[in-house]
Amino acid sequence: MRWRVLVCVLGLLTAVTAGCGDDGERAGAAAASSAATSASVSVAPPSPSPTVDRAAVQARARAALIAPDGLVPAGGARAPKEDDDRLWAFESYCAKGVTANAAGVSTSSRRVWSGIGLYVAQVVHANSSVPGTAIVAELRANAAACKQYTQICEANCSDITMLGPVELAVPTGAEAAFALCERRDPPNAGPYHYCQAYLVRGTVVSLVSVTSGGTLGQSQSAMKKVVPIAAAALAKA
Q: Which residue has the higher pLDDT, 143 or 8?
A: 143
153 part of a folded domain: yes
Q: Is residue 49 part of a domain?
A: no
| 188 & 82 share domain | yes
Q: Are residues 170 and 197 in the same domain?
A: yes
Percent of the chain with pLDDT over 70: 79
> 5 and 66: one domain?
no
pLDDT exceeds 90 at position 61 = yes
- Give CA–CA dist 134/199, Å, rounded: 12
d(CA 197, CA 77): 19
Determine, yes or no, domain membership for 46.
no
Task: Work out how many domains the chain is built from and give that number.
Answer: 2
Note the pLDDT tens digit of each residue in 23-54: 444 334 443 444 443 333 444 444 444 688 99
| Residue 214 binned pLDDT confidence (cut-offs 50, 70, 90) | confident
What pLDDT was estimated at residue 50? 67
Span 120-139, mean pLDDT? 98
Q: Answer yes or no: do 113 and 229 share one domain.
A: yes
Does residue 171 sit in the same domain as residue 111?
yes
87 shares its domain with 204: yes
| 179 belongs to a structural domain | yes
- Please provide residue 129's backbone torsions phi and psi, each rounded to the nearest 5 degrees: -145, -25
Let me know if residue 229 belongs to a domain: yes
Domain residues for the domain of 17 are: 1-36
DSSP string, the chain: -HHHHHHHHHHHHHHHHHHHHHHHHHHHHHHHHHHHHHHHTPPPPPPPPPPP-HHHHHHHHHHTSPPTTTTGGGT--SS-SEEEES-PPPP-BTTB---GGGSS-EEEEEEEEEETTEEEEEEEEEESSS-HHHHHHHHHHHHHT--EEE---SSSPPEEEEEEEE--PPPTT-SEEEEEEEEEE-TTS--EEEEEEEEEETTEEEEEEEE-SSSHHHHHHHHHHHHHHHHHHHTT-
Considering the domain architecture, whether residues 81 and 10 belong to the same structural domain is answered as no
Please tell me whether residues 167 and 119 are part of one structural domain.
yes
Is residue 219 included in any domain, yes or no?
A: yes
Domain of 120: which CATH number?
A: 3.40.1000
**Averaged over 184-210, what is the pLDDT?**
97
Give yes or no: residues 174 and 63 share one domain.
Answer: yes
Longest dimension (CA), the chain: 132
Residues in CB range of 55: below 8 A, 6 or more apart: none
CA neighbor of 224 nearest in space, from 186, 159, 169, 174: 169
Domain presence at residue 42:
no
Against a cut of 0.85, is the pTM above it?
A: no
**CA dihedral over 221, 208, 83, 174, signed as positive or negative:** negative
pLDDT, tens digit, 9 for 90 and up, residues 65-114: 999 999 999 999 999 999 999 999 999 999 999 999 999 999 999 999 99
Q: Are residues 91 and 196 in the same domain?
A: yes
Contact yes or no for 208/225 (Cβ under 8 A): no
